[in-house]
Structure formats: C-alpha cells, structure tokens
Structure 1
Amino acid sequence: METIKKLIPGCAVLAGSAVLAGCSGTAEEATSNVAQGDEQRPNIIYIMSDDHAVRALSAYGSDLAELAPTPNIDRIAQNGALFTNSFVTNSLCGPSRAAMFTGKFGHKNGFNFNGQEFDGSQDIWVNALHDAGYTTAAIGKWHINLTPKGFKLDHWEILNDQGEYYNPDWITADGVHTEYGYTTDLITDKTLSWLDEQRDESKPFALIMHHKAPHRNWMPAPRHTRTFENVEFPVPQTYFDDWEGRQAAAEQEMTIYLHSQEGHDLKMTTGVGESEWRQDIWPHLFARLTDEQRKEWDDAYQARNDYMNANEANWSDEEMALWKYQRYMQDYLATIISVDESVGEVLDYLDANGLTENTIVVYTSDQGFFTGEHGFFDKRFMYEESFRTPLVMQYPAKIEAGTVVDAMVQNIDYAPTFMEYAGVELYDDVDGQSMVEVLAGNSDQARDALYYHFYEFPGFHMVHRHYGVRDDRYKLMHFYHPGDEWEFYDLSKDPLEVNNAIDNPEYAGEIARLRTRLQELEAQYAVPPMDEWRDMVLQEYKGAKYKLDEMFPDSYEDGKVIRVVE
C-alpha cells in the first residue's frame, strides 16, 4: 500500500487524507491521489502484558478456559485473528521487548539479557511511524532502560523498572512521582485519558500500552483477591516431573514448591493470626500498601493463611506442594482478570468513538510462562510453555473476523507487520517478516523453522544458556553453558517434552536434519560463532542497577527504590 508521502514527494504526512502545506501539488490533487490509490492509515494499539501464559488465555481453549475466562481479550480473537503458533526469540522480559521494537534478534539489537542498556539510536518501528506522521505514546511497563531514550514518543509515562502492583512510581519527562491505586487500573486510566484528551486527532496514532501484570509477585487488585479462593485448578501432568534426561531442567531454580518465595510470591504468613509474610527478598513492594490497603489485603487472605498454618505440620511434602500450586494459580490468574478488564475498556472506547474499524489492536505477552508444568513458574526455557506466547490481533478493515493463523510467527515479526500496514518502508537488516500475508491466508509466506537463544546465566533461576531450532513437529536444543547437552523432542508424540530423544536411533535422521537447519538459521541471522558466546560472563547483569535519585535529583527522594533487575 502506498502512502501519501510516496504519492507526493516531499510531503510530510499528517493523516490518511491530509498533508502539510508546501508540498508539490495542490490539496485537491492530494485528495484525488488518496481516493485513487491510498487508504486511511490504521491506528495501532499494541497491548502487551508480562508473563501471560497461553494456557491462561481462554481463547486457546485450555483446561483453565472455563475456570478463569478472559472474555475481553477473547473479543480481539473473535473480531480478528488468533495465532496458534506464536513464539519469542528469547523468553526474557527485556530481550523480548528489544526484539519486538526492532524486528531483530538480540545479537543484532544488542540486548540479550536483563540489565543491559538498549540502544535507542537504532531503527525502531515506533520511530519509523512517527517520522511518517503518526503521533506516538507509551504508557506502562518499559523495562529496557530507565527512560525511553531514543524513542520518538509524543507522550510517555512509564513504570520504574518492573513496576509495583500498588501505588507505583511513574517516570515522565518531568521526573518521578508516586500515584496511589492499583497499577493495572492506573495504566488503563492513563491510556484512555491519552486517547480521549491528549492525542493529536489530526494524525493516526501508535500507542504502546504495556502492563506489569501478571508478572511476579502476582498481587491481585482488591476486588479480585478473593475471586479464586474457592477454586481448585487442575494440576499439570508434569507438576512432579523428575527431569530425567534433562540436566538443565534438573538444575534450575524455578520450581513452585522449592524455589518460590513463601512470602513474596505465595503470601504465606508466619503463623495463625499473624499478618507478617514469611521469606520476602523484596519487602519494599508489600510495604508500599497504605494502612487501608493493607487491612483490606489481610482481611482477604487471613482465613486461608490461618488454615494453612494450622495444618502445615500434618501435611506431607506433596500436599504442601499442591497447596502452593493452588495459591500461585489463584493469585496469578486473579491479576490477569484486571488485565482482561483493561482490554475491555479500551475496546469499548474504540467502539464508542468510531475507531474500531481502522485500528489495529494487538494483545500479546513478552513471553510465555510456566503455570506448574515441569513444576515450574517463570520462563527462560525453550520448552513450549515458555517459548510460545499468546497473540491475538484485530483490524476489521483488513483482517476477517474469526481468522485462525496456524503459521509459525515470532515477536520479531511485529515491526515489519505494523510498518507494512502503515505503508512505511521497512528499514534494512530486519530478521522478522511481515505477518500481513499469513493473516490474509497466504501460507506460502509461512516460516518452516524458528531460531531461539537464551543467554542469561548465571542469573535468576539459574537456567543454562541454550539455543535451538523448532519446526512444525520437532525441536532441537543445545544447552552450552555451563554444561554441554543436547535435547530433542518429537512434539507430536511428546507434547509435554519429558522424553529427551537425542540418543534415540529412530530419530537420527531428523536430528541430523535439524542440526543442518540450525546452522542454516544461524547463517541467515548472522549469529556470531558459539565460541564467542561460550565464555561470556555476564558481569554487567550482576551489577545492573540505575538509581532514580541520580537521574532525577529534584523529584525523587533519597533512599527510595532503585532499579532492581529480575
């Protein structure tokens, strides 16, 4: 699709049918050209949550769909497209965001693990749209620098690092301030305020709306602290996995029943009648609650915690592990309810203001998440629950309602997709490919294989560094630091990924084929030789903290929360 800028050289585009004065050609000629060869450029609302598992989005029809539905996010799938094979390049918050913004793998965009500084001078789809006449904004979680340095944003209000669930600190161009309330709701309010009162209505808009939820430590809104208190969620078949034949899985530190913080994560208290949390490595988060909020919180959890404390001594390890799973799921899914409500408010606003038809609305997560599979919470691994991410997209003017896309896509594909829909020329050296054709049903444009690389070791949860390849049936992974192990899975016969078939002679041919395909992908994406990564020690990761009071001395009090990399 051509833009007005292409049709009338030298013009700066303001909107789908408006151009600045001083261009060659008259306004009447511009209008005529638009009518003949161009269409109104779409608005874009890119909504991304943090750590939303595919299993926890009911449009995918999992075993949680009826117990914990997400009807508003499902509306996007019903109005447009549901992607059944959406994946990331690196299942970690910061690297995933960098890949999404640039359309490039981390070894090209320079952001491979949390705590690095994102280079905002490189090509970014948001900037390309801004240069083409879009008004742009970012509201919510950022997590790839303290501020959106290098991004061409007409408006931005972002959370400090991970953000807090209650009474968060907001960073703006004017400094830092604290606002009282529940963070998901505040992000929603700020988004609707910008759409309704602050955006330049003479231009198409590109809005980045990023939620903190449902990231750890899963603190629901006051209205949802009790929503699932009497619900028993199905336990994954692999919850008590023994990780046989999978050394990296056996050496991780992310099992719900062994490694989650009993206070910080599971809100377990010290005894009957007590409200003090047990182990809590980040006590400042709970300390942010006001006295009123704290009382409401204690009232919601006291009876359940008292029951646990009264019975803990009589429970077996397995019974306690199952109790912890239920507490984890109750809180995790309760934080998603607020995100779903937020999406509903945005969709309702678009409907009420006649913006739905020409607005692309995307909902996704920065990666997948384990909801007890293999005993895990968190992400990082190339196993399906972590590697795969939810993705739904509506654009009524172009995407047929009820579309199901089975083609494999990755988060590097968002940049070229948005740019093609906006009629903006794609910049060079992009690893991703536009999803426009597969959304139109052209399967010839689909990938045959995916490349993945996780770099962060040593680090939180101690997941070994690994890379791998996945096609429509098989997966090959190489865990290369600190060990040296290969894993291979036939996903059609072993969808739970519990039988490492790397030494099974039945698959020798497929393993050899995938090794070759992996080398081809490394060449295609210009991945540096492995010996350059093998000995890399992530010292930058260990010490990555940025003090707000140093960047904003006039608006941030000494001693408040510094940037904590997780």
Structure 2
Amino acid sequence: MNLKIGVGILVVISALAAVLVVIPGYSPKEPETVQATRPNVIFIFSDDHAYQAISAYGSKLAKTPNIDRIAKEGAILYNNVVTNSICGPSRATLLTGKYSHLNGYKVNERKFEINQPVFPEELQKNGYQTAWIGKMHLGSLPHGFNYLNVLPGQGHYYGPTFINSNGDTTRYPGYVTNVVTKLSLDWLNQRDASKPFFLVVGHKATHREWLPDLQDLGAYDKVNFPLPATFYDNYEGREAAKNQDMTIDKTMRLKEDLKVHADYEKSGIYNRFSPAEKKAFYDYYENKISKEFDEKKLSGKALAEWKFQRYLKDYLATANSLDRNIGELLDYLDKSGLAKNTVVIYASDQGFYLGEHGWFDKRFIYEQSLKTPFVIRYPGVIKPGTQVSQLVSNIDWAPTVLNLTGTAIPKEIQGESFLPLLTGKKVAWRKDAYYHYYEYPQPHHVYPHIGLRGEQYKLVRFYGPKDYWELFDLKRDPQELRNLYGVKGYEAITADLKARLKDQIRKYKDDEALKIVESGI
C-alpha cells in the first residue's frame, strides 16, 4: 500500500472514532473516552463562592466575565449539590468520590487520612502528572500528587505561606490569589511537556474575612445592594434555622469581618502586610469606612443593613481578583496552545449565604449552601452553551474527571460520571441527592442533619440536640420558608420521601444515619 494512502486512511479512521464517542446514544463497551489524545485537566477550586455571586448564574450585580466565559464556551450545571456543606469535607469528597462517613473527614480542622485511595493516583497510573497548588485545607498532604505547594490550613490573604511536597515552607509577598496563579503558571511552564497533566488551582477567595486585593478596594462602593426577600426571616416552624449563630446582624463582627477600626498593629493578619499594603487598607477602611460608620451612629435594623452592605461590597470585591486570575489562566492556555486539549473546570467547595435568611456562611441543606457553582469547558467535546439541570453531586466530580481522561474508575468511588450529560446524551440519572452535615456546636451552632433533595421536595431530619423533621416544596416555596412536615395532606408525600431517604442511606452505606431515621421520631 502507498504510504501516503495508508496514513490517510488511518487519519480518517481516527477522526470517525473521535466523532462516534460523542454521538448521543453511542455506548462503547469500555469507559467512555472522548478523543484519542488524553486531555489535560485544570480544576479551579475556590472557597465559599456563592452561585448567586456569578453573573452566569443570573447575578445582576457581580462581575465575573471569566467564569462566565467558561460557561459560555462549555457547560454550566444548575443543580450541582454537595454532600456536606463545609470546606474540608468538600475537598475530601473531591479527592475520594466518597461521602464523609466513608472518607473519614466529617468536620473541619482534622487530618485527612492519606492512606486511603484518591482519584489522582489513578490519573498517575494513566501517565498523568498531577499537582495541587493553593488552598487544600485537609490538615495533611494526600498521596496522588507529583507536586504540592499548598496553604497550611486556611492560609492568609496577604504574605501567604505555602508548604510543598517535601514539607518545606516558603512565604511569598503579595496577594494570595495572584500568588496562587503565579505558582500555577510556573508549574505549567516547568512540567514535563511530554505528559498530560491534572492541576488543581486552589483559591482562598472568597473565604471569611474577605480581604480584597488592593486594586479592588471600594470596587462596589457605589452599589446599593437590594436586601434579600428573606433577610428578616423569622424562622417560623424551623427550629434549627432559628437557633443558629451565623447572622449578619448578631454574628458578623464589625472589627474583624468588616474592618471597622481594625487593629493594624497587633493583629496577625495585618502584620503580614507590607507597609504599602497596610497603608492602602488603613486609608480605605479606617479613614473612609470606619469614619462613615462613626458618623452614622447606627443601631437596630439600620445597623444590620449597613453591615449587609459592607459584607457584600467586601465579598464581591474579593471575588473580583478571583475572576481576574481565572482570566489570566485562560489567556495562558490560549497563548500556549494548550486550550484546545485542556478541560477547564471552575467550582467552589460549597455554596454560601449572601444575606438570605439574614445569614452568611453555609452548612445548612437549604439551597444557597447546598448548591455550588460548576462550569466546565472542553473544546470539541462539550458543546458551547450546554446547560445541565439534573442533580449532580460532588461525589460525581472525581469519576467524571477520570472518565474524561480515559482513566478507569475504581469501584469504591460512590459517585457517577456525568460526562453523558455534558455531551448531550439521554441517560437515566439520579432524581434524589443525599446529604449529611455533622459539625456542631462550633463554630456556628448549626444542628447536625440528614436530608434528601429531590426534584420538587426536600426532606430534612435534624438530630442531636434537637430531633425533628422539615419538609419543603421547592416549586411552591423556593425560599424554603414553610415547613410542611406534619401538615395535613402531605402524609403520602412524606412517607414516600422517607422511604427514598432510607434507600439513599443504604445505597451510600451511612449506617449512623440509618439508625437515626429509624429511631421513630
């Protein structure tokens, strides 16, 4: 056979194969792979970034053009939920594809068990270089990474310290979001270019205490944010919601959170600032914001609403740098030629309250903390503008990355790949998502609870200090204000949801939860 003809035939066959794997309805016997060349994967993972603060999700006030770009050029998930709405456990779920009760990381500030399997190990077996740079917040350095350079614990916004794979620590000048991006780009430039890579870019933003980059100070000062409709929620019929400690009114601190008369000399936070950084903060927060606060002499509702405005201004100003740095990373992929064969994912570890129910923070199974943003781009595979409305869980993130890279998915992973949803296939998919939150009483006094989030209804069982149920109709009551549990006419719906909850508990092998829901209460 003529060599040129033979090569031409091989090229055609390869092209046809690449097309077949993305045709809706095509079901290869092996785990689905989407193209012959193994893609690189960059997973950008932020902290406490609410979907309500992203314009791709409908926010009219936030500016997130680069996150929006990923969604526009790929897919956006509208019902991506977490299994346990708190930072460290969410990261443990990403790494293991398992619920907290199986990976052992139920509450924050513990040490992740490094001798358990994590999905990046499977990527390594498939020839991938793996790295995690930035915030990890697991109290240990997990296996499965060729390179680690992460923030110890929560890390700092200014003058952050990093710890690498060898246990060596280095303090870097500047703003943490910019530093994480620089370190990520350095690694990308120094990696072995003959191998595909998986990189987690872990950002501290937008975690409390919401310290913006200098260039973003006052970015939203001319905006007057509308109060959420539930800001003055009276929590009727919802005892856990009533007895929490996470309100903007009572819990949010003027000095530490909102920088009103902050201690620039003794605070460990500001001692990490350079003189120029400290001066910029002092000029803005002391000479402007604190002066304004003193002049207003606020109390009652006026004070609560002033705190809300300041909270959102700082929170969204902090998010500005996050989005800007995502744009810098996307530009690098374009200029380096990596964009065409690199999957880019942006997600947060969980949702967050931006004044809904009068709150900040997360933890509850209610929508604003249960749902987290997730957008993904893969040129040539995920059609631009794809919208996914099905219930996807963060236990599904690991198997989906493995699936995208043509890597075998271990049987012990509890999640499922949602690659078929991203490529437009009609497949049977979950109708219910299971949830279990543990951390009590500190730091926000949220009762532990178990729950089921369905397409229309949500059933919740609080336990521990208080044992009771909640039921919400998400279509008729999307703000989750009316507890329907025990209301006449909902007996059959309640019984059905309880049966489905038990099915989920058994499916995911949560023996502790099964005992709780079978207690008869």
The TM-score normalised by the length of structure 1 is 0.83
Alignment of 1:217-366 (within 5 A): 217-269=209-261, 276=263, 283-301=267-285, 302-312=287-297, 315-366=298-349
Tell me the residue number matched to 2:412.
429
Tell me the residue number matched to 1:469.
452
1:92 maps onto 2:92 in alignment: no
Match of 1:490 among 473, 476, 479: 473
Contact 1:239 1:372 in 2 (8 A): yes
1:81 maps onto 2:87 in alignment: no
Contact 1:123 1:427 in 2 (8 A): no
Which residue identity lines up with residue 267 of structure 1 in the other structure? K
SS at match of 2:244: coil
Which residue identity lines up with residue 389 of structure 1 in the other structure? T
1:183 maps onto 2:166 in alignment: no
Match of 2:353 among 358, 367, 370: 370
- What whole-Å deviation, never above 9, does each CA across 1:31-88 have from its counterpart, x for those lacking one? 99988966000100000100010100110113xx3x2220000000001001011100
Tell me the residue number matched to 1:543.
none
Alignment of 1:126-137 (within 5 A): 126-137=120-131
Structure 2 distance, partners of 1:414, 1:250, is 33
- What whole-Å deviation, never above 9, does each CA across 1:194-253 have from its counterpart, x for those lacking one? 112x11100000001010000000000000011112211121011111111111111111
Tell me the residue number matched to 2:63.
69
SS at match of 1:117: coil
Deviation at 1:471, TM superposition (A): 0.6
Structure 2 distance, partners of 1:459, 1:264, is 18
Which residue identity lines up with residue 340 of structure 1 in the other structure? D
- What whole-Å deviation, never above 9, does each CA across 1:296-331 have from its counterpart, x for those lacking one? 11112222220111221xx34000000000000000
Structure 2 distance, partners of 1:443, 1:247, is 41
SS at match of 1:505: coil
Structure 2 distance, partners of 1:456, 1:59, is 31
Contact 1:437 1:445 in 2 (8 A): no
Q: Identical aligned pairs, as a percentage?
A: 42
The TM-score normalised by the length of structure 2 is 0.91
Tell me the residue number matched to 2:55.
58
Contact 2:505 2:513 in 1 (8 A): no
Deviation at 1:440, TM superposition (A): 1.8
Contact 1:53 1:369 in 2 (8 A): yes
- What whole-Å deviation, never above 9, does each CA across 1:248-306 have from its counterpart, x for those lacking one? 1111110011001211111112xxxxx647xx9x9312332222211111112222220
Match of 2:100 among 103, 106, 117: 106
1:45 maps onto 2:42 in alignment: yes
Structure 2 distance, partners of 1:530, 1:357, is 45
Structure 2 distance, partners of 1:189, 1:41, is 25
Structure 1 distance, partners of 2:333, 2:197, is 13
Tell me the residue number matched to 2:504.
521
Tell me the residue number matched to 1:557.
none
Tell me the residue number matched to 1:213.
205
Structure 2 distance, partners of 1:399, 1:266, is 41
Tell me the residue number matched to 2:192.
200
Contact 1:217 1:264 in 2 (8 A): yes
Structure 1 distance, partners of 2:70, 2:48, is 19
Q: Which runs of 5+ in 1 are unaligned?
A: 1-29, 270-274, 535-566
Which residue identity lines up with residue 124 of structure 2 in the other structure? H
Deviation at 1:441, TM superposition (A): 2.1
Contact 2:392 2:418 in 1 (8 A): yes
Deviation at 1:533, TM superposition (A): 7.5
SS at match of 1:337: helix
Which stretch has the larger CA shift, 85-94 or 498-507? 498-507
Deviation at 1:529, TM superposition (A): 3.3
Contact 1:264 1:283 in 2 (8 A): no
SS at match of 1:357: helix
Which residue identity lines up with residue 177 of structure 2 in the other structure? T
Contact 1:364 1:390 in 2 (8 A): yes
Q: Which runs of 5+ in 2 are unaligned?
A: 1-9, 18-34
- What whole-Å deviation, never above 9, does each CA across 1:474-495 have from its counterpart, x for those lacking one? 0000111110011110000111
Structure 2 distance, partners of 1:322, 1:261, is 14
Structure 1 pair 169–309 and aligned structure 2 pair: CA distance change class (3 A): same
Structure 1 pair 510–366 and aligned structure 2 pair: CA distance change class (3 A): same
Structure 2 distance, partners of 1:68, 1:204, is 34
- What whole-Å deviation, never above 9, does each CA across 1:405-439 have from its counterpart, x for those lacking one? 01110111011101111111111222111011111
Structure 1 distance, partners of 2:360, 2:316, is 13
Structure 1 distance, partners of 2:404, 2:482, is 42
Deviation at 1:472, TM superposition (A): 0.6
Tell me the residue number matched to 2:21.
none
Which residue identity lines up with residue 492 of structure 1 in the other structure? K
Deviation at 1:109, TM superposition (A): 1.0
Match of 1:124 among 118, 123, 140: 118
Which residue identity lines up with residue 437 of structure 1 in the other structure? P
SS at match of 1:495: coil
Tell me the residue number matched to 2:32.
none
Which residue identity lines up with residue 231 of structure 1 in the other structure? V
Structure 2 distance, partners of 1:525, 1:291, is 52
Structure 1 distance, partners of 2:375, 2:448, is 30
Contact 1:407 1:443 in 2 (8 A): no
The number of equivalent residue pairs is 489
Contact 1:48 1:365 in 2 (8 A): yes
Contact 1:438 1:445 in 2 (8 A): no
- What whole-Å deviation, never above 9, does each CA across 1:124-183 have from its counterpart, x for those lacking one? 11111012100111100011124x23x222221100100111001111125112111000
